[in-house]
Amino acid sequence: MLNWSDVIRFVNHGNPEPSKRVVKTDDEWKALLSPETYFITRQKGTEQPHRSEMCTLFEPGKYQCVCCETPLFDSGEKFHSKSGWPSFTQPIAIGHVGHIKDSSHGMIRVEVTCNVCDSHLGHVFPDGPAPSGLRYCINAASLKKTEV
CA 145 from chain centre, in angstroms, equals: 13
Residue 111: how many CB atoms within 10 A of its CB?
18
Specify the pLDDT at position 12. Answer: 97
Nearest to 50 by CA among 87, 80, 81, 85: 85
Question: Does the pLDDT value for residue 146 go beyond 80?
Answer: yes
CATH number of the domain that residue 95 is part of: 2.170.150.20
Find the mean pLDDT for residues 39-46. Answer: 97
Q: For position 105, what pLDDT does the model report?
A: 86
Considering 65, 67, 68, 137, which one is annotated as catalytic?
137
For the residues 102-120, what does the mean pLDDT come to?
95
pLDDT band at 147, cuts 50/70/90? confident
**Total domains in the fold of the chain:** 1
The answer to whether residue 137 is catalytic is yes
Over 34-64, what HEC string results? CHHHHHHHHCCCCCCCCCCHHHHCCCCCEEE
**In one letter, which amino acid is 72?**
L
Cβ atoms of 120 and 113 closer than 8 Å: yes
Query: Which residues constitute the domain of residue 39?
Result: 4-14+22-146
Mean pLDDT of 57-82: 96
Alpha-carbon distance 74 to 89, whole Å? 10
With H, G, I as helix, E, B as strand and everything else as coil, classify residue 27: helix
Q: DSSP letters along 84-101, please? A: SS-EESS-SSGGGEEEEE
Furthest-apart CA atoms within the chain: distance in Å: 42
Among the listed ranges 30-34, 50-54, 90-94, 137-141, which one has the minimum average pLDDT value? 50-54
- 43 to 12, 54, 58, 64: CA distances (angstroms): 23, 22, 28, 19
Is the peptide bond between 86 and the residue preceding it cis, with omega within 30 degrees of 0?
no
